[in-house]
Copies of this chain bind each other. A is one copy, B any other.
Amino acid sequence: MIEETINQGMLAIDQYMEEVVGSQVEVLQDASIHIVTSGGKRLRPKMALLAYLAAGGQQLQEVIGLAAAVELVHTATLVHDDINDHSLTRRGKATVHARWGRTFALLTGDYMFAKVYEMMAPYGNPYNEIMSQAAVRLVEGETLQAAAAKSGDMDRETYKQIIGLKTASLFEASARMGAYLATKDQSVVNALADYAYNLGLTFQIVDDILDIIGDPETMGKPVGTDLTQGRGVMAVQNGEAFVSGDGVAATAVADDPLQAMMARLRESGAVEIARLQAREMGERARAALADVPSSPARDELEDLIDMVLDRDR
């Protein structure tokens, strides 16, 4: 029953995204559809959808646009990230940058950002404020990450700030908007937003771990990208910081070839410490759900925590 509703909603979100990126300019439409239809976990729109349902929402259709807009913000940043990271594959397919070149990739990202703004306009406030603030934070987080990678100055606090801004903020905004559509009860809205923020942190730490220990075939993209990009060893370095109190791993990047570095990290125990942190954030997400009335949708949100913690791709 709930699974069917979720599947229906997620399908509608996918369809809406494909429709909305239609353009009189062929390359924008082609490149947008290429990235939009290349899969992805769709966790952010799922946050909006489940938060809406858990907050008592009954008209699935009203949350579809919001959820699709959130995923398009995320997708636009992926297109721009791949330019900055020189990434050639994403989700097992060529990146927009690899296939259409840098100029069109840059413009495709801009196009999607502009489309999001168009999609959001009818919702009015507070939705536009929540979404735009999350978009600002996302860019701030990505910039902090690039700056930290450049300076080699990645400590535990910076890492936490980065993942809060670049990932957790959009998770939070998604759940907050979805919940607020369904209820004006701020304790429920805030609980769902708090859940989603912590789930976003959990997700990002696990993502950074998978960049070190993941299997490239399962992942559908090269692993070690964060390492080769000199972006620091994110979650793992963060784990080491727990042990050693400073960022040993980051300096090692310059001396060791990638494979050796990855092996060393896998063996160092830092990964396990990062995993513990992910679990801690996951438990915070779980605790936040206490203020949400019990429902099949809330059960799904709880299950999602374990799926995020246990995923291998």
Which A residues form the contact surface with B (CB < 8 A)?
23-28, 77, 80, 83-84, 102-104, 106-107, 109-111, 113-115, 117-118, 120-122, 124-125, 128-129, 131-133, 135-136, 138-140, 142-144, 146-147
Contacts and interface: CB of A to CB of B under 8 A. Distances in A.
Contacts of A114: 113, 132, 135-136, 138-139
A102 B85 CA distance: 11
28 contacts: A23-B140, A24-B140, A25-B143, A25-B144, A25-B147, A27-B147, A83-B106, A84-B102, A84-B107, A103-B146, A104-B147, A106-B106, A107-B143, A110-B113, A111-B139, A111-B143, A113-B114, A114-B132, A114-B136, A115-B132, A117-B117, A117-B132, A117-B135, A118-B129, A118-B133, A121-B129, A122-B125, A128-B128
Contact of A125 (B121, B135, B146): B121
Contact of A84 (B106, B115, B133): B106
Given A84-B107, A114-B135, A115-B132, 20 more contacts: A24-B140, A25-B140, A25-B143, A25-B144, A80-B106, A80-B107, A84-B102, A104-B143, A104-B146, A104-B147, A107-B142, A107-B143, A107-B146, A109-B110, A110-B113, A117-B117, A117-B131, A118-B133, A118-B136, A122-B125
Contacts of A111: 136, 139-140, 143
Contacts of A125: 121-122, 124
A131 B121 CA distance: 9
A27 B150 CA distance: 12
Contacts of A84: 102-103, 106-107
Looking at A23, A27, A121, the one whose CB has the most chain B CB atoms below 10 A away is A121
For the complex, would chain A's binding face be called helix, strand, loop or mixed by DSSP majority?
helix
A52 B132 CA distance: 26
A132 B121 contact: yes
Contacts of A117: 117, 120, 128, 131-132, 135
Q: Which of A114, A125, A142 has the most CB of B within 10 A?
A: A114
Ranked 3 nearest A-B pairs via Cβ: A121-B128, A118-B132, A117-B132
B136 A115 contact: yes
A132 B135 CA distance: 15
Contacts of A103: 84, 146
Nearest to A85: B103
Given A83-B106, A84-B103, A135-B114, A28 B140 contact: yes
A221 to B, nearest CB: 20
Best-buried of A28, A84, A102, A139 by chain B (most CB within 10 Å): A139
Contacts of A109: 110
Contact of A28 (B25, B107, B133, B139): B139
Contacts of A83: 106
A25 B148 CA distance: 11
Contacts of A124: 124-125, 128
